[in-house]
Amino acid sequence: MTGYGNAKGSVGAQAVTVEIRSLNSKFLELNVRMPMQFRDKELEVRADLGKLLERGKADLNISIDNNEMAKRSTVNKEIFMAYFEELKALSNDAGIQDNNMLDTILKLPAVLNSEKSEMDDEQWKQLKGLIQQAVTQFNLFRSNEGGVLEKDIINRINAIVNSIPVLEEHEQLRIDNVRQRLFKAITELKDQTNVDNNRFEQELIYYIEKLDITEEKVRLKSHCDYFLQTINSSEANGKKLGFIAQEIGREINTIGSKANDAQMQRTVVEMKDELEKLKEQLANIL
């Protein structure tokens, strides 16, 4: 599910920005980027975010806005003077005047000692607070988007349910048409062969029962009701909704295979279209 959240604040003497972004994904894919001095807390950050985000391809980016305090550099005077004396002697022997000797020495190995600042407990507490602020904004973003998705998904489920009476309008007419076609065919054959009317009626009843969609309509309505009940629950049910949508699709497909009527087939196609659009939206649901 898509989302975005950010927070800015201080961690010790440093100005820190925390950003969380996510795209749709069936599982949680978490990518974490943070300064080196925070790396020892990465596993804890990942564990906490895993519980809070649940699903999505998420990126957490922690950056330091004023990095001058993140690293302190000191000059190793003994090594510096050793380089200086050696380079000065070489310059005198070669008759070379080097006005950039200072810059040259500072670039030589082991002259500068860099000390990385590490977090103490108070700074870790401050960083966790910023991450929590970003997560709060992130979840608010998701919640607002989820409200729009929920309305759209419910409308599509209701469209499928409202299509059931449309099927029923043509259901009896379809059976009557089948009966008439078969009687017409039998009548045309009467002069050529003997027809057992009782046997014909039995076969007709069996054939019409094969076209009956009463059970499919009942199950379809039940699945749709269960879908609406599930989407209104407080739990994260994205995967469960996907399974219910599959069952809805099976009933619609069975109705389509039994329809044997152009108008009913047209209604089935409209139901399938609504279901496919609904499945696309389910990819955004936790």
Per-residue confidence (pLDDT) for residue 196, from 0 to 100? 65
Element at 250 (helix H, strand E):
helix 238-259
Asked if 235 and 210 sit in the same domain, the reply is yes
8 A C-beta contact, residue 146 and residue 101: no
Does the reported pTM lie above 0.75?
no
Query: Could you read off the pLDDT of 20-51 as tens digits, one per residue?
Result: 998 877 778 889 998 877 888 889 888 888 88
Looking at residue 61, what is its pLDDT?
A: 92
Do residues 38 and 137 share a domain?
A: yes
Q: Do residues 282 and 55 make contact, with C-beta atoms less than 8 angstroms apart?
A: no
Element (H, E) at 267: helix 262-282
One domain, residues 181 and 79: no
Residues 260 and 154 grouped into a single domain: yes
In a shared domain, residues 61 and 123: yes
| b/e 101-126 (16+ beta carbons within 10 angstroms → b) | eeeebeeeeebeeeeebebeeebbeb
Which tokens is 109 given? Answer: 């190995």
Are 160 and 243 in a shared domain? yes
Question: pLDDT value at position 60?
Answer: 92
Q: Which amino acid is at 176?
A: D
* Average pLDDT, rounded, for the chain: 82
pLDDT tens per residue, range 101-150: 777 887 777 776 654 556 778 888 999 999 999 999 998 888 888 888 88
**Do 73 and 38 meet the contact criterion of CB atoms below 8 Å apart?**
no
Same domain, 78 and 183: no
What is the domain-level CATH number for residue 223? Answer: 1.20.120
Stretch 85-100: mean pLDDT, rounded?
78
Say if residue 13 is in the same domain as residue 126.
Answer: yes
**17, 65 Cβ separation under 8 angstroms:** yes
* Max Cα distance, the chain (Å): 130
165 and 254 part of one domain: yes
Distances, alpha carbon 145 to alpha carbons 54, 92, 133, 159, 243, in Å:
16, 74, 19, 22, 22
d(C-alpha 138, C-alpha 26), whole Å: 18
Tally of domains in the chain: 3
149-165 confidence digits (pLDDT tens) = 889 999 999 999 999 99
Residues 76 and 58 in one domain: no
3-state secondary structure 165-204: HHHHHHHHHHHHHHHHHHHHHHHHHCCCCCCCHHHHHHHH
Counting residues of the chain whose pLDDT is more than 90, the rounded percentage is 24
Q: What is the CATH number of the domain that holds 56?
A: 3.30.230
**Quick one: pLDDT at residue 69?**
46
Average pLDDT over residues 257-262: 82
Residue ranges making up the domain that contains 227: 145-282
Examine the domain organization and report whether 95 and 60 are in the same domain. no
Same domain, 151 and 260: yes
- Once rounded to an integer, what is the mean pLDDT over residues 206-229? 86
Is the Cα torsion angle 204, 205, 210, 212 positive or negative in sign? positive
